Chain A
């Protein structure tokens, strides 16, 4: 069974037109995804195609510098270079079992778009990706990859021309084509059952990490750290640890030009509850309820909302909230590149950055989710003089 709300958050705030599609998705998910056949098919693809399990790497040099045991969960080593593929493959399989041959998706940085285009190419399905015009400019490499994979990339020119508007446009497409189209949402946002489905498909990250750290250290970690935009890599690694209160769950949001600058993406830190894109969660909005523009140097964190389950975990005191600015993220990207030989995505770099601002005890065990690799960000890194 899936639940539609997380405390006061979540729900299904959508026009009636979408209800039947959401109900059929929920029913399919409940009946199909738990069958041994589906699980076997999904696990096989994760292993043989995506390359799972991803390693949990003990980062010796940064551990020595920080004064704690830092382990990196290498989601950047997945096929297509980020955690997004875990969900894209799972949902594409769901679409297959619903008999839907057309897939749509929204994308910000392009990682989810690439993952979805990849899954569609693999399964021979039509793929349409909505992407803000602004993000298309920032992430031209990923746009090319999606096209090479056979997807149609539709530039979104409304509003701020970023992820928020791409999501609105994808929902519109689904409103018109829901009977034969499946919408693969890329994060733990949107109307029920999406936040649950995406979390479940991403929760492999936390399950693997839990086993791997037990093998390496014989106990659970003291901290699990992840960056948060919508929250899919964070919920993916947190989920296995939520019920173990000794494990601190650290959610790192993008502070952009600074939390007080008004130009950031820190919905958990500075947002208020409201409804955007079909569910109730923390949002960046003005006093009239108009959604504000988010800012982050990383296109993947540039979203004014955050998932409902993370909103609930915040209210129940389960999360430790941290932030990193654009400048701190850039410095962290260089730091990890030069100390461990791993170039992280700019999204991930925000999580890396807090290793330097948090204080740890020498026997603390930290697991940090390296959600993606930085190749897509090389242009931005060069522009910023890295």
Chain B
């Protein structure tokens, strides 16, 4: 399926956890991000035990889950529906597979479509287990965005690159989400390897925290995903500061 979110431009993709610090504040952040140059926004639905995330995102999930609100998938769809009345840029959810199993796979993709959600990243759903999810997502025309790491074997890589919709999410370093000082050097080569299999947009995530990271990633990839850095900044300095940082990152 063609989603054409990137056309020929390079995109900044910020991540926020739904409900950290509140659902309305997350909506403010999504709108502010779009107004200040974000190309796609990724919204994390909080989960009690996220194995793919680092301590910063996990703490963000736990704050959202203990805020007194219910930052559920349904609440996320509600927010998407409100934002999509005013914005056409894509919103994707990032969430653990157990939340979708609990919601129901077909129900999830049907409601995602109805809300206007454009795509889903499920970090703990490997291609080997994804059959039902791919069928439902394609029926609903909601993109299933897969993750790969540079450790991926050639045969799996080919399978994942051919299955992903919207873009491919490249984990820049081994380990979980979180900020790092330097970016690994072998990424450009790996992106080239992906593009050789199929010419799809590649967005790099995990570890981007500086304008210099964004700049260097966008020389060889199509998108730069920034999560932990914005989440940390949000806690320390609040929404306006995060929006300014997004504007700065998006202008590189």
Contacts and interface: CB of A to CB of B under 8 A. Distances in A.
Interface string A173-211: 001111100000000000000000000000000000000
The A interface, classified by DSSP as helix, strand, loop or mixed, is mixed
Contact of B101 (A14, A165, A275): A275
B153 A23 contact: yes
B102 A19 contact: no
Interface string B125-149: 1101100000000000000001111
A380 interface: no
A179 B174 contact: yes
Contacts of A17: 149, 151, 171, 174-175
A218 interface: no
Contact of A278 (B58, B124, B153): B124
Contact of B65 (A11, A273, A285, A290): A290
A296 B175 CA distance: 32
B47 interface: yes
Nearest to A157: B55
A276 B171 CA distance: 21
B59 interface: yes
B182 interface: no
Interface residues of B, number: 42
B181 to A, nearest CB: 15
B48 to A, nearest CB: 5
Interface residues of A, number: 36
Contacts of A283: 98
Contacts of A14: 51-52, 124, 126
A343 interface: no
Contacts of B59: 158
A288 B49 contact: no
B126 A158 contact: no
Contacts of A12: 126, 128-129
A379 interface: no
Interface string A16-45: 110110010000000000000000000000
Contacts of A23: 153
Contacts of B175: 17, 172, 175-176
Contacts of A385: none
A136 interface: no
A176 B171 CA distance: 12
Interface in B165-180: 171, 174-176
Interface in A157-171: 158-159, 164-165, 168, 171
A16 B51 contact: no
B149 A158 contact: no
Of listed A16, A172, A285, A287, residue having the most chain B CB within 10 A: A16
A168 B98 CA distance: 15
A275 B122 CA distance: 12
Nearest to A170: B51
A159 B176 contact: no
Contacts of A270: none
A19 B124 contact: no
Contacts of B3: none
A242 to B, nearest CB: 25
B35 to A, nearest CB: 31
B238 to A, nearest CB: 24
Given A16-B148, A275-B124, A289 B103 contact: yes
Contact of B151 (A11, A19, A274, A289): A19
Contacts of B148: 16
A58 interface: no
B156 interface: yes
B207 to A, nearest CB: 11
A175 B176 contact: yes
A288 B152 contact: no
B72 interface: yes
A171 B55 CA distance: 12
Given A13-B129, A290-B47, A290-B48, A175 B174 contact: yes
B6 to A, nearest CB: 22
B129 A16 contact: no
A15 B149 CA distance: 9
9 contacts: A14-B51, A15-B123, A176-B176, A273-B101, A278-B51, A283-B98, A288-B70, A289-B100, A290-B48
Interface of A: 4, 11-17, 19-20, 23, 158-159, 164-165, 168, 171-172, 175-179, 273-278, 283, 285, 287-291
Interface of B: 47-52, 54-55, 58-59, 62, 65, 70, 72-73, 96-103, 123-126, 128-129, 146-149, 151-153, 156, 160, 171, 174-176
Given A13-B124, A16-B152, A20-B151, 17 more contacts: A13-B97, A16-B147, A16-B149, A17-B149, A17-B174, A19-B153, A19-B156, A158-B55, A168-B58, A175-B174, A283-B98, A285-B98, A289-B98, A289-B101, A290-B48, A291-B48, A291-B98
Closest CB pairs A-B (n = 7): A289-B102, A176-B175, A17-B149, A15-B52, A20-B151, A275-B98, A289-B99
